[in-house]
């Protein structure tokens, strides 16, 4: 990536500029009151209620927040970052042996497009449960269901187990956060758990090489996540920007040691009937330093019907979205991300006309 590929060069309107790097950033939430628990009780105490309120406010105002004292061991965070470095240091021909396919999106790829421009990055995706069932296509009239699986590199013997261990550790954090989100919406803590029994969640190792002209490209262009929640680990190299809801300004997310950045995805936006919004974000690159980040996109089972939750719909707040199968939505978003289509798919494209 020594030269700038013309397909990566953004049009003027999409180039990274005017980023706010000082002042108020996304909320920082300390989970230490609850990280030693296996789950929240049906009758939460004051500390749990306070945390749920803070998370609810962060979801409403930003769609993003950072958590500390989260319970994920620092050792597995360190090992997954080391595993990412080892993988992306492999020769190109070795990485391509585990390339993603059109109908099995895990594996290596370096051709993701955001808003029809090629991203300045390399990626390796793996499924949290190693394999899962998904629709064969995004077409609504195609009933076929097929297995998706992760192609693992053969010459990195500890890579697969490290990825699996990291996925399990972050899954525990995700379910704690999901319970807090449920409480913040006035629901029982485990109200949403059943949607993830055969989850279609996947993790991504992102590698952003230095770029000779970083002002012309983006590591990942502006986008919204298809997940319910995304759990992101990043190191001390900056690059993540969030579109602030209050004024539409791009705000830099400052790395906090041993933290995770959490954001609302499309699925939670639908479930909450727009009480919580999936917010646009992007990743910038720089000319001197490589950057690594690892998001896990926690997504419900393929056969779950996405629709506003019954408890959050009434005459004053009617459902804003029609029913849509979660697997079809994820498949459609994947289809949209890897080819130049001339359009960018958003959940709001499917809103019910007011």
Provide, for the chain, the percentages of residues in helix, strand and coil under a 3-state DSSP scheme, each rounded to the nearest 5.
Answer: 30, 25, 50
Cα–Cα distance between 227 and 221 in angstroms, integer?
A: 17
H runs (alpha helix) in 138-197: 159-184
- Answer yes or no: are the C-beta atoms of 242 and 281 closer than 8 Å: yes
pLDDT at 113: 65
Cα–Cα distance between 320 and 271 in angstroms, integer?
A: 10
Q: Is 348 helix (H, G, I), strand (E, B) or coil?
A: helix
Cα–Cα distance between 243 and 282 in angstroms, integer?
A: 9
Query: How large is the average pLDDT for residues 30-47?
Result: 73
Cα–Cα distance between 325 and 44 in angstroms, integer?
A: 32
What are the distances in angstroms from CA 54 to CA 48, 181, 223?
10, 10, 25
pLDDT at 145: 82
Which are the contacts of 194, defined by CB distance < 8 A and separation ≥ 6?
none
Q: Is the pLDDT of residue 38 over 70?
A: no
Which are the contacts of 78, defined by CB distance < 8 A and separation ≥ 6?
none
Q: Is 127 helix (H, G, I), strand (E, B) or coil?
A: strand
Rg of the Cα atoms in the chain:
19
- Residue 86 pLDDT grade (very low, low, confident, very high; cuts 50, 70, 90): very high
- Residue 353 pLDDT grade (very low, low, confident, very high; cuts 50, 70, 90): low
pLDDT at 343: 45
pLDDT at 338: 53
Helices and strands (H and E) in the chain: how many? 6, 19
Predicted confidence (pLDDT) per residue in 241-297, tens digit: 999 999 999 999 999 999 999 999 999 999 999 999 999 999 999 999 999 999 999
Predicted confidence (pLDDT) per residue in 294-350, tens digit: 999 999 999 999 999 999 999 999 999 999 988 888 887 776 555 554 444 565 666
Question: Which DSSP letter does residue 104 get?
Answer: B
Cα–Cα distance between 140 and 212 in angstroms, integer?
A: 43
- Answer yes or no: are the C-beta atoms of 257 and 26 closer than 8 Å: no
Q: Is the pLDDT of residue 216 over 60?
A: yes
pLDDT at 236: 94
Topology of domain 6-350, CATH: Jelly Rolls (2.60.120)
Phi, then psi, of 333 in degrees rounded to 5: -65, -40
- Answer yes or no: are the C-beta atoms of 306 and 341 closer than 8 Å: no
* Tokens of residue 39, six digits: 């789950």
Which are the contacts of 94, defined by CB distance < 8 A and separation ≥ 6?
153, 155
Q: How many CB atoms lie within 10 A of CB 236?
A: 10
Q: Is 327 helix (H, G, I), strand (E, B) or coil?
A: helix
Q: Look at the pTM and tell me if it is higher than 0.85.
A: yes
Strands 305-306 and 28-30: unpaired
């Amino acid at each position: 990536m020594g030269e700038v590929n013309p397909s990566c060069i953004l049009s003027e309107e999409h180039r990274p500029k005017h980023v706010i790097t000082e002042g108020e950033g996304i909320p920082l939430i300390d989970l230490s009151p609850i990280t030693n628990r296996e789950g929240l009780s049906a009758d939460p105490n004051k500390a749990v209620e306070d945390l749920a309120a803070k998370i609810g406010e962060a979801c409403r105002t930003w769609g993003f927040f950072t958590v500390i004292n989260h319970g994920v061991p620092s050792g597995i965070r360190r090992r997954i970052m080391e595993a990412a470095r080892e993988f992306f240091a492999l020769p190109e021909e070795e990485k391509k042996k585990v390339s993603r396919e059109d109908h099995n999106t895990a594996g290596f790829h370096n051709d993701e497009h955001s808003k029809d421009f090629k991203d300045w990055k390399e990626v390796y995706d793996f499924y949290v449960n190693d394999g899962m069932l998904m629709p064969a296509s995004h077409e609504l009239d195609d009933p076929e269901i097929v297995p998706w699986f992760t192609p693992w590199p053969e010459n990195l013997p500890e890579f697969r187990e490290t990825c699996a261990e990291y996925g399990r550790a972050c899954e525990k954090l995700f379910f704690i956060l999901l319970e807090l989100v449920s409480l913040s919406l006035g629901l029982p803590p485990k109200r949403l758990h059943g949607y993830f029994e055969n989850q279609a969640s996947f993790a991504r190792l992102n590698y952003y090489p230095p770029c000779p002209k970083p002002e012309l490209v983006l590591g990942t262009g502006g986008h919204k996540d298809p997940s319910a929640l995304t759990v992101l680990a990043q190191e001390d190299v900056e690059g993540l920007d969030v579109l602030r809801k209050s004024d539409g300004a791009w705000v830099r997310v400052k790395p906090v040691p041993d933290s995770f950045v959490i954001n609302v995805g499309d699925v939670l936006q639908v479930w909450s009937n727009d009480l919580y919004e999936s917010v646009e974000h992007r990743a910038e690159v720089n000319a001197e330093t490589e950057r690594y980040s690892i998001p896990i996109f926690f997504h419900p089972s393929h056969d779950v019907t996405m629709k506003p939750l019954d408890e959050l719909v009434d005459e004053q707040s009617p459902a804003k979205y029609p029913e849509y199968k979660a697997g079809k939505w994820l498949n459609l978003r994947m289809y949209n991300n890897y080819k130049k289509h001339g359009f960018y798919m958003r959940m709001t494209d499917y809103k019910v006309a007011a």
